[in-house]
Amino acid sequence: MRKIALISEHASPLALVGGTDSGGQNVYVAHLAKQLARKGCLVDIFTRRDAEAQQLIVNWLPGIRVINVPAGPARFIAKEMMLPFMEEFGRFVLRFARRQRVRYDIIHANFFMSGMVAQQIKQTMGIPFVMTFHALGRVRRLCQGQADAFPDIRFAIEERLMRDADRIIAECPQDKADMQQLYGADASRIDIVPCGFDPEEFWPVTIGARQELGIGEEEFVILQLGRMVPRKGVDNVIHAVAALKKRHRLHARLLIVGGNASEPDPCRTPEIGHLMELTKSLGVERNVTFTGQRPRAQLRYYYSAANVFVTTPWYEPFGITPIEAMACGTPVVGTAVGGIKSTVLDGQTGYLVPPKDPEVLAQKLAWLHRHPQMAQRFGWAGMRRAYQSFTWRSVAAQIADVYEAAMQSVQETDVIYSAAMQSASPQSQVAG
């Protein structure tokens, strides 16, 4: 029975997802833990305590504990400000493991700051670690420039982690290429494992999805769903809706799901305020509905109710939402960046478009509106693809293989090291 420590400093599996700093990583850690526990592993998830009311240890599900690590103040801190608390975080994890008398077989660190904790544990206890970066600092800096508030030291930390981790998980071929080209990472130590969806959460709701959401059957519905941050390019989708109206005479209905609260409150989610302003200035406020954050059990209704799911980020380490939409049988139009390039098959499960180009996006949307049968065919093809390649069960099985490879490589290194030590010892020299 393997004992696994998942470290996810800013992204708790218990958090509400869809806000500024809670999204794909939270979902990844939660589903990976569930699948590993199903396979009989014991999983401890370490995440930073960000509310006074949180218990130190939460027995979440059979075989899974969530440890709310006291490191820094017990309130929300933007992830860009979290670095100074990571040493305290690491010390706590070490103390916890000793006091609980638990020896983990493997540490899986998520995001670069968790990698620092894994490094600390490896140095002290010799436990191997696997790294999923979820996002790379250099890619972010290239795309976001001045708006990237992470300190520059992030680049050197990531570079070192790429050398020290026993295995690295890239989420798509582009992620791997970025590590090689921007950090000089050794390709032979990187495995590509995608993200997934859970068939118990997502399936096509063929009857009643629109009724559930109060949407008319005749409307052409476009869905945008995800965290509300500028790099997700939600403004681009709003511009495309305006172009549909002006140039294609098509009155689409755009649903925008996500935010820090269940109401689309600009005070709680400033980005929603900016986007609302944009809808007004483009004269499409009646075409666009902001819903605020939605719980996971409701998402299949949104995906199923939509004629098309749209996601047009500037860059995307993986992008779980296209997979979720595909699992619900909905065609996807996404930007040809990062993981989306690998999940959406252009002209088969949807379309790939350039980022920041609302005219091209509007053309694809208008085409799908004019060809509903083709759109439906794309949706079915997407669903088949999601089930074939992207369930969390198959993703977790691939990640478990990466863990075994990491443990194996440490054992081999230990054997080589002790053999070298023996041959270098004075006794063996006398004997030799």
Contacting positions for ligand UDP (CB under 6 A): 17-18, 23-24, 27, 225-227, 257-258, 293-294, 296, 299, 318-321, 324
Query: Smaller CB distance to ligand UDP: residue 119 or 269?
Result: 269
CB of 416 to ligand UDP, least distance (A): 38
Q: How far is the CB of 276 from ligand UDP (least distance, A)?
A: 17
Indicate the residue among 225 and 400 with the shorter CB distance to ligand UDP.
225
Measured distance CA(190)–CA(419) in Å, rounded: 27
- In contact, 71 and 86? CB cutoff 8 Å: yes
Nearer CB in complex with ligand UDP: 28/104: 28
| Residue 402 vs residues 19, 106, 206: alpha-carbon distances, Å | 30, 10, 38
Measured from the CB of residue 300, what is the shortest distance to ligand UDP in angstroms?
A: 10
Closer by beta carbon to ligand UDP, 356 or else 377 = 356
Nearer to ligand UDP, 319 or 358 (CB): 319
| Distance, CA of 42 to CA of 4 (rounded, Å) | 6
Of residues 196 and 358, the one with the C-beta less far from ligand UDP: 196
Minimal distance in Å, beta carbon 169 to ligand UDP? Answer: 14
Which residue lies nearer to ligand UDP by CB, 119 or 174?
174
Cross-strand partners of 59: 65
- CB of residue 418 to ligand UDP, shortest distance in Å: 42
How far is the C-alpha of 77 from the C-alpha of 49, rounded, in Å? 10
Give 9 or 324: the residue with its C-beta nearer to ligand UDP.
Answer: 324
Q: Least separation, in Å, of the C-beta of 249 and ligand UDP?
A: 31
C-alpha span between 107 and 115 (Å, rounded): 9
CB of 219 to ligand UDP, least distance (A): 21
Cβ(9)–Cβ(176) below 8 Å: no
Q: Is the CB of 77 or the CB of 94 nearer to ligand UDP?
A: 77
C-alpha–C-alpha distance, residues 117 and 85, integer Å: 11
- Taking the complex as a whole, how short is the minimal distance between the CB of residue 235 and ligand UDP, in angstroms? 16
Query: Least separation, in Å, of the C-beta of 218 and ligand UDP?
Result: 26
Least distance (Å) from ligand UDP to the CB of residue 134?
7
Cα 283 from Cα 290, distance rounded (Å): 15
Can you give the three-state secondary structure of the chain, one letter per residue? CCEEEEEECCCCCCCCCCCCCCCHHHHHHHHHHHHHHHCCCEEEEEEECCCCCCCCEEEEECCEEEEEECCCCCCCCCHHHCHHHHHHHHHHHHHHHHHCCCCCCEEEEECHHHHHHHHHHHHHHCCCEEEECCCCHHHHHHHHHHHCCCCCHHHHHHHHHHHHCCEEEECCHHHHHHHHHHHCCCHHHEEECCCCECCCCCCCCCCCHHHHHCCCCCCCEEEEECCCCHHHCHHHHHHHHHHHHHHCCCCCEEEEECCCCCCCCCCCCHHHHHHHHHHHHCCCCCCEEEEECCCHHHHHHHHHHCCEEEECCCCCCCCHHHHHHHHCCCCEEEECCCCHHHHCCECCCEEEECCCCHHHHHHHHHHHHHCHHHHHHHHHHHHHHHHHHCEHHHHHHHHHHHHHHHHHHHHHHHHHHHHHHHHHCHHHHHHC
Beta carbon nearer to ligand UDP, 229 or 366:
229
Task: For the CB of residue 244, give the shortest distance to ligand UDP in the complex, in Å.
Answer: 23
Tell me whether residue 321 or residue 391 sits nearer to ligand UDP (CB atom). Answer: 321
